[in-house]
């Protein structure tokens, strides 16, 4: 029988209106410029909320199959262009709002729920800004909007930010592999798995995506001669989630490393560690990105040409001015 858990977080702390995931107060967040907040999903009465186990992720799975390739590249342009599929994404996000934060639920189903929620809300947030080259263009508090803090998902009567999902819901579950599953729409992130995470498969799904993550040179490099590892910056930022010291952290990732020699070196703590540069470039399918940026540039040129023509026409008018 699978263990049953109740999510015991203080959900007032999950709501971004009470402060962000790094403990900043609302007043500090709002000091520079009023924040634009966007709310997703719906407000569901308590009597209609269901356990995490009962949330259906099939629509999200279908969208991932259609718009995400095996490498995790996303066809944002195609999804945004389809009114029907964009509406399907909105409907799925509204389904997430039906989850109860207090009803007993299997921990794996909770984990799958929050991973899917993080990824679906991130995709929605990018679509709202698309075309764009990077999520980092939309994370500045001084600009009045931070996608990680101000894009809020209605769940169980609370409004929950992406930061809160990551730092208040997922990380406290104690499974560091979530860092190889939640995707901040960047090439430096793990791939966006083109299938929904589900409770009865989440353990194997996390293992597969962790293995894929370390199979990429952008995330892991092993220099046998110098006895060194170069690791993704994710391991620098969240190393403590993998263990209290370097030895424990290396042992935690050892099963997912691509070669037996790398696994042995990690298990014996026999390597020096450095960290790789992180790419914040949008995790878009390459051809789609090129098309969209070209179209945006062309639209700008056409607008500039129109304005120039208007100014010329005004100058050569009747002379009444």
Left, alpha or beta for 230 (phi > 0: left; psi -120 to 50: alpha)? beta
CA–CA distance, 198 with 172 (Å, rounded to integer): 19
Would you say residue 6 has pLDDT above 50?
no
DSSP 129-193: H-S-SBGGGGEEGGGTEEHHHHEEEEETTEEEEHHHIIIIIIGGG--GGGGGT---SBTTSPP--
CA distances 263 to 11, 194, 214, 260, 268, Å, are 39, 27, 11, 5, 9
Q: How confident is the model at residue 194 (pLDDT cuts 50, 70, 90)?
A: very high
CA–CA distance, 268 with 247 (Å, rounded to integer): 8
CA–CA distance, 278 with 280 (Å, rounded to integer): 6
Q: How confident is the model at residue 22 (pLDDT cuts 50, 70, 90)?
A: very low
Q: Count how many Cα atoms sit within 13 Å of the Cα of residue 34 in the half-sphere of its side chain.
A: 2
Q: Is it true that the peptide bond before 206 is cis, omega within 30 degrees of 0?
A: no
Would you say residue 150 has pLDDT above 80?
yes
pLDDT of residue 304: 57
Per-domain residue ranges of the chain: 14-21+30-197, 216-279
Q: Give the pLDDT mean for 5-22.
A: 41
pLDDT of residue 295: 66
Left, alpha or beta for 314 (phi > 0: left; psi -120 to 50: alpha)? alpha
3-state helix, strand, coil in the chain (%, to 5): 55, 15, 35
Q: How confident is the model at residue 297 (pLDDT cuts 50, 70, 90)?
A: confident
Q: Which two tokens stand for residue 69?
A: 């390739």
pTM attached to this predicted model: 0.84
pLDDT of residue 202: 98
| Residue percentage of the chain with pLDDT more than 90 | 76
């Amino acid at each position: 029988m699978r263990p049953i858990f109740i999510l015991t977080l203080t959900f007032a702390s999950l709501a971004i209106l009470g402060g962000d995931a790094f403990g900043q107060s609302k007043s500090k967040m709002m000091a520079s410029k009023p924040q634009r907040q966007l709310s997703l999903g719906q407000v569901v009465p308590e009597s209609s909320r269901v356990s995490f186990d009962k949330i259906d992720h099939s629509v999200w799975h279908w969208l991932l199959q259609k718009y995400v390739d095996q490498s995790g590249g996303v066809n944002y342009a195609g999804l945004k262009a389809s009114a029907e599929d964009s509406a399907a994404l909105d409907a799925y996000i509204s389904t997430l709002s039906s989850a109860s934060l207090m009803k007993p639920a299997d921990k794996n189903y909770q984990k799958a729920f929050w991973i899917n929620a993080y990824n679906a809300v991130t995709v929605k947030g990018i679509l709202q800004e698309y075309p764009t080259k990077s999520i980092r263009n939309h994370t500045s508090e001084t600009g009045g909007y931070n996608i990680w803090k101000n894009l809020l998902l209605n769940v169980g009567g609370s409004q929950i930010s992406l930061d809160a999902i990551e730092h208040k819901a997922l990380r406290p579950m104690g499974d560091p592999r979530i860092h190889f599953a939640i995707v901040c729409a960047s090439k430096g992130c793990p791939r966006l798995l083109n299938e929904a995470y589900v409770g009865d498969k989440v353990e194997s799904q996390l293992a597969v995506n962790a293995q894929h993550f370390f199979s990429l040179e952008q995330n892991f490099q092993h220099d046998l001669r110098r006895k060194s590892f170069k690791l993704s910056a994710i391991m620098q930022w969240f190393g403590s989630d993998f263990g209290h010291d370097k030895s424990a952290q290396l042992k935690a990732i050892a099963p997912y490393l691509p070669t037996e020699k790398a696994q042995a070196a990690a298990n014996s703590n026999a390597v020096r560690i450095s960290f790789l540069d992180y790419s914040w470039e949008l995790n878009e399918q390459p051809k789609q990105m090129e098309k969209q940026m070209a179209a945006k540039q062309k639209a700008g040129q056409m607008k500039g040409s129109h304005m120039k023509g208007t100014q010329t026409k005004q100058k050569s008018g009747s002379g009444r001015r």
